[in-house]
Amino acid sequence: MFSEILGGRRLRSLARLTVKPAVPPRANPMQSRIAEAQSVEEVFRKERVGALCRARPATALAETPLAALLELLRGDSGGCVVIVRNRAPIGIFTERDYLDKIAGNAYPTGTTAGAVMTTSPRMLSFDQSLDEAIQLMTDGGYRHLPLVDVQGQLMGVLSVRDIISYLAAFFPVEVMNLPPSLGGDATRREGE
């Protein structure tokens, strides 16, 4: 399941990898369950998305001018800006939204975030499993998911980049030594 979102054939073989309890656990708290787990799937079922997400995502109001929204996106946004009302997500504006809606188009002065955002984004609870997040991202084609608490207040954003970083931390040798492309041949040097 997670192989589609994380690179198809390249990472499918990682599903068969097992976590070796003999390796001392890392100091990173998001890897706390590694000693208990047997497989990547089990790790993904046990890990909560709140442990790996961007805790302070870029946010804006629906009334935010387009120029200010783009400045937020260009900054340390992690690739998206969550549009909020009373700390509750009502929309999201991502790099993909920029490319699809803004790039190459002229917008009148006075255009706001509310006019260009993706409304009613799919969200996850802060304590849902990583497995559920990957399934939702795969099924919906999402790269960013806002995470909310039980009151619906924004708690963070989970991105595909967060998931890949998490996976790479468990299997650095296997992930870093993957062929450079899906059809790549790891036995030949690139360009030969």
Rounded to whole angstroms, what are the CA distances from 114 to 34, 46, 61, 75? 42, 36, 8, 19
Q: Residue 79: inside a domain, yes or no?
A: yes
Q: Residue 182: inside a domain, yes or no?
A: no
Please report the pLDDT score of residue 11 as a whole number: 39
Q: Return d(Cα 126, Cα 182) in angstroms, integer.
A: 33
Please report the pLDDT score of residue 3 as a whole number: 42
Q: Residue 102: inside a domain, yes or no?
A: yes
Please report the pLDDT score of residue 104 as a whole number: 87
Q: Residue 6: inside a domain, yes or no?
A: yes
Q: Looking at the 3D structure of the chain, how many domains does it have?
A: 1
Task: Give the number of C-alpha atoms closer than 13 A to the C-alpha of residue 67, restricted to the C-beta side.
Answer: 3
Q: Residue 50: inside a domain, yes or no?
A: yes
Q: Residue 62: inside a domain, yes or no?
A: yes
The per-residue pLDDT string of the chain (192 residues; one tens digit each, 9 = 90 and over) reads 444 444 443 334 444 444 443 343 444 544 444 444 457 788 888 889 988 887 789 999 999 999 999 999 999 888 999 999 999 999 999 999 999 999 988 888 899 999 999 999 999 999 999 999 999 999 999 999 999 999 999 999 999 999 988 888 877 776 677 676 665 555 655 444
In which domain, by residue range, is 20 found? 2-176
Please report the pLDDT score of residue 15 as a whole number: 44
Q: Residue 29: inside a domain, yes or no?
A: yes
Please report the pLDDT score of residue 134 as a whole number: 94
Q: Residue 23: inside a domain, yes or no?
A: yes
Q: What is the CATH number of the domain that holds 106?
A: 3.10.580.10
Please report the pLDDT score of residue 76 as a whole number: 85
Three-state SS sequence of 84-136? EECCEEEEEEEHHHHHHHHCCCCCCCCCEHHHHCEECCCCEECCCEHHHHHHH
